[in-house]
Amino acid sequence: MAEETRVGVDVGGTFTDVALYVDGDLVTAKVPSTKDQSVGVMDGIEKACETAGIPPGEIDTFSHAMTVSVNALLERGGARTALVTTKGFRDVLEIGRQERPDLYDLNAEKPDPLVPRRRRYELDERATPDGIETAVDEDEIRELARKIDADGAESVAVCLLHAYANDGNERAVAGTLREELDLPISVSSEVLAEFREFERASTTAVDAYVTPAIDRYVGRLAERAAEAGVPTPRIMQSNGGTAEAETVREHAVTTVLSGPAAGVVGADAVVSADPDDPGGEGEDGDGLAGLVTFDMGGTSSDVSLVRDGEIERTTTAEIDGLPIGTPMVDVNTVGAGGGSIAWVDSGGALRVGPRSAGADPGPACYGKGGERATVTDANVVLGYIGPGTALGGELTLDVEAAHAVLDDLASEAGLEDALEAARGVYRVANANMTRAVRAVTVERGYDPRGFGLVAFGGAGPMHAAALADALDVETVVVPLAGGVLSAFGLLAADEKHDAVRTHRVALEESDSETIESIYADLEKRVREETATGEPELERAADLRYVGQSFELSVPVHGFDVEAAEEDFHAAHERAYGYRMDETVELVNLRASASVAREAPAVAYEADGDPLKGEREAYFPDAGHRETAVYDRERLAPGEQIEGPAVLEQAESTAVVPPGWNGRIDRDGTLTCRRQR
């Protein structure tokens, strides 16, 4: 029986990456991202299929990660959204937690709410955690619908007080609005059935804001895929699992970190797939405390953690200052990618990002009209990217253009020449990314020296060893498909669905029958959303000491009060270094359903002479050095690489600096270690 032919496509700010698995082989492609992302997606699939020698119609499954949701938030390009809420709570989106974004910045400003005050409507209703005190009036809802329609709203968010506990009024409002309006209606008790009004309202507003864009995009993509004979795509969610296209069209907020989540899944899959190389002892490889995943693309760099074989997830994330409470892979993002623009601030200091040259015109070295120096241009001037390099196999670099824009930057910054400017850009970009790694390690109580750094993305493998040096990390892992690892992660991603409901009670006073009933309802919901097989169900509970403001989530097997309490004490001690002799409070109950999917077993064989030649490259701690240049895909398993060396392939370039050695593992992964 033939193996399933799978394709994964991840859209980035500059490039669209494709990983096609067919007959045990992995074919990759990289094409420029397009304004309508679905065009670039199909271009990439067609390019990969042409390379593999198969028609697109032979693809069995299609998984996709995108940036539509996050772009709509960052660029404020989402739908014209209305908010319906309880009388007296119209301004909850604006008031928030009354916290200053930066305590000591007198000019700090909060982001504008997604829904302006003129489109926030109140209803005379009231629910409490114990029941409904004032029912909604049907005539008032219909009158409200007419106002929303007259205002030209494109979507509606409904978030009523205490609807997480008693959703009768909210369901009535949503039902009538759906009858009266031909618009997407996002309902807080369906989007996020948790207490905390601001976070629930914010998450619901985000869902309403991005839903029309996701609906249009996924619809267009499904149509284009069908025309090519490709299956309807499954969409990567922020939680690191995929879902049916129709599911995410109804729950668009689950896609805001679609692309970064796919990269973390891919990194975990590569390291976990081979326990010997680069594995060793322990689930994270070589007896390491865990992995730091480092994805440097064209626009930004995303950093996350894998500890004890598990991807770190969170339910308290913010995107551009907007709280989102749905489960997602815990990713820290900084605006430092290959296309990030270097500039000089008013004080004369060299800065990098967050503005990006994107795909069009892109860095100056792309030869498409870029006039500002970027990180990629700096890497060309430093010699890490050579004049013969063809990004994506087809885009030949313009080295002279890179030198010209770095000369301009040098003049503006008062530096000697293009090389000194390139050194500065490289160091500043690395400093930005090092801070991002510290944010997910040191600032959370983890010593990065015990972790391995998994580097991927088009630019990540060029900067990884420099980051490792700054963090005193000993091991860097660069997967063979590192330039398109998010796309590869889509081939390995499980289907996954989550549900939550607030149930606040002292743990010792909790009623087992009530708890079991809530879990049963949550499990029914996630089971119904599952489409690819019989799911594995998992339960968790959010617990805290009475008086604390935030919770820790612990797994639940059955619901034994004493066991849950001890698990919480242990989790609190691991997280904060102590436990308390205080009453433990139950806050939220969670259920998840997942259908496991094995990562494709990719055969790796190398053929031919890997040495392409030498060129001069500049290294901050070693100066100019003659550097061996290798064809990455011709390096055989077991091959040892002594730095300085550059390993080139179509989708990315890896740099092994002086003082580092590399080894090619049996699946083609490059594992680099600092020389002792």
Lookup result for tokens 């500890």: 307
β-pair partners for 356: 340
Segments in the chain below pLDDT 50:
1, 275-285
pTM reported for the whole predicted model: 0.89
Helix (H) or strand (E) holding 27: strand 25-32
- Which parts of 432-569 are beta strand (E)? 451-456, 475-478, 495-506, 536-545, 552-556
Are 112 and 159 found together in one domain? Answer: yes
Q: Which two tokens stand for residue 8?
A: 């994964």
Are 111 and 197 found together in one domain? Answer: yes
1 lies in some domain? no
Q: Phi and psi (nearest 5°) for 71? A: -65, -40
Q: CA 650 from chain center: how many Å?
A: 24
644 lies in some domain? yes
Cα(397)–Cα(198) distance, rounded to whole angstroms? 49
Contact 541, 554 (CB under 8 A): yes
Amino acid at 658: P
What is the pLDDT, as a whole number, of residue 392? 52
506 lies in some domain? yes
What is the pLDDT, as a whole number, of residue 279? 41
Are 648 and 537 found together in one domain? Answer: no
86 lies in some domain? yes
252 lies in some domain? no
Are 553 and 584 found together in one domain? Answer: yes
Are 237 and 285 found together in one domain? Answer: no
> Where is the domain boundary, 399, 425, 451?
425
Q: Phi and psi (nearest 5°) for 13? A: -70, -25
| Residue 24 DSSP code | T
Domain with residue 129: its CATH number is 3.40.50
pLDDT tens, position by position, 565-611 = 999 999 999 888 899 999 999 999 999 999 999 888 887 888 889 99
Are 328 and 458 found together in one domain? Answer: yes
Are 652 and 664 found together in one domain? Answer: yes
Amino acid at 500: V
Amino acid at 453: L
Contact 236, 61 (CB under 8 A): no
Are 414 and 562 found together in one domain? Answer: no
Cα(592)–Cα(311) distance, rounded to whole angstroms? 15
Contact 118, 97 (CB under 8 A): no
DSSP string, 400-421: HHHHHHHHHHHHHHT-SSHHHH
Are 467 and 580 found together in one domain? Answer: no
Long-range CB contacts (within 8 A, 24+) of 467-471: 467/294, 467/430, 467/433, 467/434, 467/437, 468/674, 469/621, 469/657, 469/659, 469/674, 470/430, 470/431, 470/434, 471/434, 471/437, 471/438, 471/441
Q: Phi and psi (nearest 5°) for 63? A: -115, 145
Q: Which two tokens stand for residue 674?
A: 């600092």
Are 208 and 100 found together in one domain? Answer: yes
The structural domain count of the chain equals 6
207 lies in some domain? yes
What is the pLDDT, as a whole number, of residue 1? 46
What is the pLDDT, as a whole number, of residue 70? 87
Lookup result for tokens 């629910």: 127
Cα(625)–Cα(658) distance, rounded to whole angstroms? 9
Domain that includes residue 559, residue range: 497-595
Contact 537, 526 (CB under 8 A): yes
| Residue 218 DSSP code | H
Helices (H), 235-383: 245-250, 258-273, 375-382
Cα 278 to Cα 151, 617, 666: the distances in Å are 58, 28, 9
Of the candidates 418, 414, 324, 401, which has an alpha carbon nearest to the alpha carbon of residue 357? 401
What is the pLDDT, as a whole number, of residue 264? 94
> Where is the domain boundary, 402, 425, 448?
425
Domain with residue 549: its CATH number is 3.30.1490
251 lies in some domain? no
Are 527 and 591 found together in one domain? Answer: yes
Cα(537)–Cα(558) distance, rounded to whole angstroms? 12
> Where is the domain boundary, 492, 514, 533?
492
Contact 535, 522 (CB under 8 A): no
Cα(241)–Cα(527) distance, rounded to whole angstroms? 14
Q: Phi and psi (nearest 5°) for 631? A: -85, 110
Cα(559)–Cα(608) distance, rounded to whole angstroms? 60
| Pairing status of strand 623-631 against strand 645-648 | parallel
Lookup result for tokens 């499990």: 523
225 lies in some domain? yes
Buried b (16+ CB within 10 A) or exposed e, 136-165: beeeebeebbeebeeeebbbbbbbbbbbbb
Taken as a whole, the chain contains a residue count of 676
Domain with residue 41: its CATH number is 3.30.420.40
Q: Which residues have a Cβ under 8 Å from the Cβ of 53 and sit 6 or more positions away?
A: none
Are 514 and 375 found together in one domain? Answer: no
